[in-house]
Structures are given as C-alpha cells and as structure tokens.
Structure 1
C-alpha cells in the first residue's frame, strides 16, 4: 500500500487530535507548513470510525488543491480515486456512494447547503486553509457556528490553517480548543533585492538562470501573478535554457501551474523529475498552501499577487496586481524547506517586507461586493435567518449589507416586511 515518503508530524499528535475532537464539537488546528494536516487529518478521523457515521468533508479554497490532495490521499490509502476517496469541484464530481473522505471547494459545499442546510451527509466538516479568508470560507464559518447548535451531538467541525489567528477563531466559536502542530521545515536562507525591479518577470528570469547555472540539483518554484505572466515566463525560460552552452548544466523541465490548467497537465507537476534534470515550476499563489511539490529547494518570490477588487462606485470588479502580505511571503518561502535546506530569493528589499507588506491578507469579504452573498444567505432554508445579524468572523459594514438588501428588494428578488427581508 502506498504511504507518505516520510512520517509527518501530525501523525505523532493523532491521539491528541482525536481526544480533542471527541471532547469538543469544534477544534482549531494550526498546522505549520509541512505538518501534513491537509492529507492526514481526514485519514486520522477515518481510521477512528468517524466516516461510519457520515462522510468526512474537507474544503479547499481552490480546485487544483481539492483535486491534487484527494488524489494523494487516495494513493496513500491504496484506493481508486472516486471510490472511498473522491473530490467535487465545479462541473466535476468524482465521488460515489462509497465515498467516505470527500475533498471539495468551499463553493461546492455552499451550494450543497442550499439543498441540505443541515449537511446531514457529513459527520465531520474540515475547513482547510482558512487563513486565506476567502468569501466562501467566511460564510461557511458563520454557517458552521449556526449549524453546530442544531447538530452538536452528531457533527464535528475542524478549522485548519498554517497561519490563522487561532485565538480569534477560538473566541468566535465560544472558546473551542486550539491545537498547534509543528511542521518539518528545514532552514530556508532568504535573499533580498537591494531595490524593487522595474520588471519582475525579467528579474525572475535572470534569478532562475543564475540558480540553474550555479546551484546544485533541486527544483525551482517561481511565483508569478497570473496565467499571462506564467505563459511569458515559461516561454522566456525555455528559450534561455535552450541557448545555454550544451553540457554547462543539467537538463531542465519547465512546467506551469495555475487553476485553469487541464487536470492531466496539473498532474505533471507532482511527478518526480527525470534523472539529472531540474524542474522549474512557474505558479500562481495556488502553490502557496495545500499543494506540496516534492523536490522544491529554491523559491523565487516576485512579491506580487493578482487579487480581485470591488469598486463600489462603479459596481464592477477588477483583477489588480497588488503586493502580497507577510503571511503570504512566509508561506512562499516555506515551500523551499520541505525536503532539505532551501533558499528563497525575494525580489524586493527587506524594508519592503517589514514596512510595506500588510501582516495578513485583507479578508475577501471586506473587499468584495456582497450582492451574491446576501442572495445566497436569503436562499437558505433556515428559520429566522437575519442577514443583518449574521455572525461573520470579520463582519462587513452594516450600510453595505443594507444597501445590497435594498437593491435586491428593488428588483423584487427579496421581499420586505417591517424592516426585514425575505426571498420572494
């Protein structure tokens, strides 16, 4: 039976985790990068019999992560993907009646709650990578707080992350326990630029070639902001490598990684590198968390991410390239220290990291239109739900909620009676 290449730290804390879950309805698990929380936590609870009462659901903020982690867990358990272990993402459902561990995006779980508000098919719901604070995850946190009141006897909820403010979430869930699981990070040496490069693609390209020519074996993970940047970087990097003097360095394989890639191309990233060959994986922030690409020793961090922003005055979204947070920078660096000591090349000065980067990413609910969220919450078949009093970890402004309710009332999608709103 396939198994992880080395014992993961979370396995040493299995008894502690099970005891906490048995004694509490909600448990927060802070698992450092490399602890194995995304792949092992569901298996630990499965072995303890929780899957006999209902399936174990594990949410991921991104489709790529849901698919790849499910594939890894199925491999470790020695079962076909889609049988005991499966996944559900938008437009694709690889599960069966026998599925007892189900990886799914947070959006899919939200859609399931429309038809089954109590989510009765699940005995355990694990919200993984909650620190990313996606809009869907924040809504799920509020729904879980409401749901455990009705299903306290037969539902367990685990909130997991590498960098989440555990005390804040614990307080949100009435003082639930917080478990801290160490990771297996090897030391990562960090190198900073003296100034911000005028072109981060060209700077990343030069750094990648320098690593390939001067450094010993080890794969390189290059963070770019989006698919366009990745395509440019892949093309330029292949051309540069082909123009290197033959025999001056090892072979190289350049692979993209982003959410729009077909599954068969995503799988290539997780296959081992050929002998005497260095892989360059050019990725979006999808590679920051959940996904572990074995063999990465070097990370190149451009310091930017493409983020969806909402402009209330125009009522439109835009995809803007913005600076990452310190939490994101640390997550990126941590990708280099999974299997042996690594190096992270940060294409920005240390003063930028310390003084300009936000400590953590702004929650999506505070930079998004609430139109879809309001309509979703009003669509739930839940008694006495009051959107203006809905329990968010970081509540949006009351005027913003009122404004969206009013706009939906004006187009007759919600009704208004004595100051409250309901679905028409």
Structure 2
C-alpha cells in the first residue's frame, strides 16, 4: 500500500497543532486526512487526556471511515475506535477515537457544553458546509476561549477557503497537504443533454465498450435516478454480445442504502470485470472508492431548499458548483491517469456554475439549530447576531424564532422554557419533540412515539384507497388492506399501520404483502425503542410506552393524539378556504396549498375538508403540497393564534427589545400561519367566496 501524503507531513502537523489551539488543514483528494489525522494525534499522545472526536456531515461517512480506522489499528469496531450517528452508537469506555456526525456532537454539547471528554475536535469535510458544521464552527470559536489550554480544534477540508476560515478564527495557521492525483482528461459535451439519465447511460456503455479496464463512477442526483440507471445499465450490459468486452457489475451508492450494501462498493472487482458505481454527491469527497479511472458527471445535484417567507421546502435538481465539478473529476485520478466525461459544455462550467456550493445554513429551516443555541442558556447569545462563518438571512432566523415561540419552546422574551429544554434533549425536529411532550401530558405518549418513529424513519405508505388514481394503480393497490386513518388523516394512519404490524408480530412478509419497505419499518421499530428509552430517562415516561399497542382505538383515543399533534405543529397549521379547481385547498401564508394526493385525509360528503389541519411538511413539487396531514379542532388552534398578538422578534432573539425598524406581529402579519389568502380577482372577491363557502358549510352542519 502506498504511503499516504499526509503521513509525510506528520511532524509538521504535530508541531503546528502543539503550538496553536486552532489549525486549518486543506488536504487534497487522496491525501488521507479523514483516516490518518486522528491516528497521527493518537500516536502523539493526545488521547491520554481525552478522546479525539472527528465529525462527518454524513452518517455513511462516519460509519465507513470508523470501520477503516479500526481495521488499520487492528481494533474491533466499537472498542478503541467507534462511531455515533443518530439512533446508533458503536462506542465503549475504551473508545479513544470517535467518528460521529456533526449533529451528534452538537447533541453531546447540551449535556456537557465544555466538551471536556475530548482533547481534540476535528471538523472534517467542512467544505460541505452542512448546517450543523456551521453551527459548530461558531461554537468552537467560543469554546476555544474557554478551553484554550487543553483543547485543540482542527478544521479539515479538500476545498475549503482556508484564508476565510483563518480570519474567522483570528488568523489561525493553514496547512496545505497535497493528494495523490494523476492527470485527469476532462471531456465536455457540445451541448446540454435533454435527458441526463439517458445521456449518462449512453456514455457509460461507450466507456465500457471502448475504453481499457478501469472502474467507472457515475454521479446522479438521487435514489430514484440511481435505481433507474442501475436497472437500465445492467440490462444493457447483459444484452451486449458475449465476448465483445469484459464483464461488469453495477453498484448503487446513496445514503439510504443499508450499511451492508454500502460496503460492497469498496470491494475490488473480480478479474476481467469492470465496476460501475452509480452514486449521489456522497462520493465527491465523503467516501473514497479506489480503482476509479473514469468519472461521468451529470452536472446536477438534488438540493433541498427552504423558503422562510412561505415555510415551504422544495427539492430541486440544480447545477453543481465549480468546486463540486473539480471534486468529481479528481476521483478519476486516484490510482492512475483518468478521464472525466462532463455532460455539459465548457461554457456552462465557466459561466453558469457558482464558484462554491451555497452553505446549507442559507437554505434550511433553522428552528432546530436555534433551539439548540437557546438551550445553551448563554446570556450573551443574541440569535440574530450570532457569529456564523456565513450568516443566514435575518428572515430565516426570524422564521425559526417564530416557530419556536408558537410551540412554547421559548417565551415572549426569548428565554428557553422548561418545555424547550426538554425538546432539545430529544434527537428530533422541534415539532415532533413538542408533540411527544404534549402527548405525555394528555396520556397518549405510546401512540405519539409510534407516529414520531414512523415519520423519522420516513416510512412511505402507498394509498390504500384509489381516489383520483388511474385504473392501473387502482388495480395494483386493490389487494392492500392497510388502515385508512379513520378519516382523521395520515398521522392516524401511520399509527394504525404500525400497530397492525405489531399485531402481526413484526413479520417482514406482512410489510411486503402491504407494499411497505421492510427496512424502513424495521428502522421505525428501532427508533421507537430508542425514543422510548430516552423519554423514560428524562422522566417523561410516566406512562408505559408500550401500553395499549394492540388494543382497538376509539375516536376519543385519536382525539388525544390529534390534540398533541396540534400543539407540536403549532406553526404548521392551515385553514380550509374553498374547493379550488377540483383540489382540496387550504390557505397558508398568503397562498393556496393542496393536500398531497397520497393523503388519506377525508373530505365530507360535500367535498369539504376539515376547518383546520396540521401538516408535517410543506413541499413545492408540481405545485405546493402538504404532506402527512391531520385534522385538528378550532378550540386547539385558538391559543396558538392568540400568541401571535404579543410577539416581538427582537425580544425572541435575545436582544434588549424591539428596535425602531422592527414591527411587532400585530403590524406584520404576513407570516402568520392563519392568515387569509389573497388570490387573484377583484378586491374582496376571495373574501366573499370564502365567507359564502363557510356559510354553506355551517348551514349543512346545522341541518344534520
């Protein structure tokens, strides 16, 4: 095995770390920074005064790199070297090198703000600019001033702007470590393809038939495209004339794969066989697969973006940045000269691609991050003025504060409440954490744990009904006997599905028979078990969290759960306005949104939805949709709407009070979740239509 470049700089690294509390290390692709840096510091004795923490933005990377380092040290995984990711901890009292996601390190700092268990904290892959890594950068800057005598912080990256980070950390040193890179020939398309999946497929086949041996890495945007590509590529390869070229095997690589399937890509191909690895951007820098000689770059990435003014997520396929393009190309030059087939013209790379990827902190909901910062109870933290490497917009921070206030995590003066502190201890997004706390008070904790686990595991339930579906889909789903939510909505259906599975003794065949992904259901079971243990340790589990699992539920039971959901989703309410263009439509933040077609939420015999619903996610695809929707009652909504009357953003931030330029919510209602819709048409026309619809609805109700 060749000596990794970073090992040639071991003495220089050790000397620089010894003399400085913060060091930035720019290690090019193939330098060995992720696996070797922790071992260098371990050899230099840093683990005698505490463990070495190495953060990764991705769960897959935390697991695979920990496995590699444990192997290199001749240690069993979980002993000297371990990892911690959400809902999984493979560490022990012996662990002195710990790989963990950046979110896990944030959570650890809640119980130990000084992070005294660590002598060294390495923030790896910082160029990915994940939301949690950016929060950690700000916190490390504060922490260094408190633990400067015994804490070392290293920020490592392949492409990060070292000068910018150095300035952020008051001029800390920057070390550059070269990688093992052979020349890579970059081949551009003459024009942008109309279908990049088909273009990737054609290019892959051309490489396989015409090019010498060497593995191929294909960058796609997400699991759906990867699955299509794997299926089509395998089919095409099987149909090639026997003996016309070498054999080939095709592997997918994305974050949703179970670990045993991810590991396959690291095994070398059999003799006279070429590997095709079809991956998301996880293979840009987080994971290094040896043997890649050819890279096919679609030029796109799937990116989740949040709009704080609408509270809406969109999952968009966008152009990559030049930094990402260069990272992808570099994967072809690890072991010998390679080629990168860029499925876009050179002019697109030069003129259209951004220099670098937009940091996640500038395109995400910040409610969870702001709750974390508030839970630190540091009197000098003003959320709107927190020291970020690249600050998010004021609008995003205000949106997060508003969300937390409406679900009781912070009070009107911006102080974290006891409810907020309890929410911060749960490894969940704020809405689900708040739901569990309310459910405990209402006596339905067991049911809420089930729903929360199903949502956290992202269990997808195909519709048991076939309303508005094509005849073909209707026939396909006719055999399914899944519960339908009893008319109350998707959260109730999730509960009913899990409890049906419980009554079937968690039989995997039951999942298969009902078109449910076995792995997702098993994961939800594991998540539920861990959440149950957490809430009981917190003293919130006054109920038996397994109680009533197999008992038949009544509407009264479901009412308790729906009430808890209303409290948890206080900022995610929508009010029924009218039936619009044949779709179930509700008003939210000056727009019309629709219940997703897969929802089991039922309208009445007149086609009217409930007056109010809560939703788990608002996402913009072909049109704005609410996903995972549940009916709630107006009496539960009123206390939430009243809170808006006394809300002042500057006070919520932690500042001294309202500034002259900031209005209270009384004068600035555009972001109220209960605001009426302003649609096109003459002034007052929408209001009159809404009022007429309400009057008809009330009249029908009175006649029943």
TM, length-normalised to structure 2 = 0.58
Q: Contact (CA 8 Å) 1:218, 1:278: kept in 2 or not?
A: yes
Is the Cα–Cα contact under 8 Å of residues 308 and 396 in structure 2 kept in the other structure? no
* More moved, 208-217 vs 364-373: 364-373
Q: Determine the structure 2 residue equivalent to 1:224.
A: 220
1:250-285 deviation per Cα after TM superposition (whole angstroms, max 9, x unaligned):
111100000011111111100111111100000000
Question: If each structure's strand is expressed as a fraction of its own residues, which one has the higher value?
Answer: 1
Q: Which runs of 5+ in 1 are unaligned?
A: none
Q: Does 1:299 align with 2:295?
A: yes
Deviates more, 1:52-61 or 1:232-241: 52-61
Match of 1:366 in 2: 362
1:153 Cα offset (Å): 1.0
Partners in 2 of 1:240 and 1:407 — Cα distance?
Answer: 50
Q: How does 1:260-275 map to 2 (within 5 A)?
A: 260-275=256-271
Deviation at 1:111, TM superposition (A): 1.2
Deviations 1:270-327 (A, max 9, x none): 0111111100000000000031101100000000000011122331212111000000
1:201 equivalent in structure 2: 197
Alpha-carbon offset, residue 403 of structure 1? 4.1
Alignment pair present for 1:83 and 2:83 = no
Deviation at residue 396 of structure 1 after TM alignment? 1.7
- The SS at the match of 1:235 is helix
Question: Partner of 1:113 in structure 2?
Answer: 109
Partner of 1:259: 255
The question of whether the paired residues in 1 share the 8 Å contact of 2:308 and 2:399 is answered with: no
Q: CA deviation at 1:112?
A: 1.1
Mapping for residues 19-38 of structure 1, pairs under 5 Å = 19-38=15-34
- What is the aligned counterpart of 2:46 among 46, 50, 53? 50
Q: Does 1:146 align with 2:137?
A: no
Give per-residue Cα distances to partners, 1:110-145, cap 9 Å, x unaligned: 111111111111110000110111111100000101
Corresponding residue of 1:169: 165
Distance 2:371 2:278 in 1: 37
Q: Which runs of 5+ in 2 are unaligned?
A: 419-704
d(CA) in 1 for partners of 2:71, 2:224 = 33
**Any idea what SS the aligned residue of 1:415 has?**
coil
Give the 3-state SS of the residue equivalent to 2:155 in structure 1. Answer: strand
Q: What SS does structure 2 have at the residue aligned with 1:79?
A: coil
The Cα of 1:383 is off from its aligned counterpart by 4.6
Q: Which runs of structure 2 are paired with 1:228-243 in the superposition (5 Å)?
A: 228-243=224-239
Aligned partners of 2:329 and 2:92: how far apart in 1? 38
The yes-or-no answer on 1:344 pairing with 2:340 is: yes
| Paired position in structure 2 for 1:212 | 208
Which structure has the greater CA radius of gyration? 2
Using the alignment, how far apart are the partners of 1:147 and 1:64 within structure 2? 28
SS at match of 2:221: coil
Aligned residues: 418
> What value does the CA root-mean-square deviation take over the aligned residues?
1.2
In structure 2, distance between residues paired with 1:73 and 1:407: 41
The alpha carbon displacement at 1:407 in A equals: 4.1
How far apart in 1 are the matches of 2:98 and 2:377?
Answer: 24
Deviation at 1:408, TM superposition (A): 2.5
CA distance in 1, matches of 2:272, 2:407: 63
* Contact in 2 for aligned 1:117/1:382 (Cα 8 Å): no
Q: Secondary structure of the residue that 1:414 maps to in structure 2?
A: coil
Deviates more, 1:70-79 or 1:408-417: 408-417
1:401 aligns to what SS in structure 2?
A: helix
Kindly state the Cα deviation for residue 402 of structure 1 after the two structures are TM-superposed: 3.3
Contact 1:34 1:185 in 2 (8 A): yes
Counterpart in the other structure of 2:70 = 74
Please point out which of 404, 409, 415 is paired with 1:413. 409
Give me the whole-angstrom Cα distance separating, in 2, the residues matched to 1:17 and 1:292. Answer: 22
Question: Residues of 2 paired with 1:92 and 1:372: CA distance?
Answer: 20
Q: 1:247 to 1:373 in 2, by over 3 A?
A: same
Of residues 304, 317, 341, the one that matches 1:308 is 304
Superposition deviation, residue 389 in structure 1: 2.4
Residue 3 of structure 2 corresponds to which residue in structure 1? 7
What is the SS of the residue equivalent to 2:232? helix
1:409 positional shift: 2.6
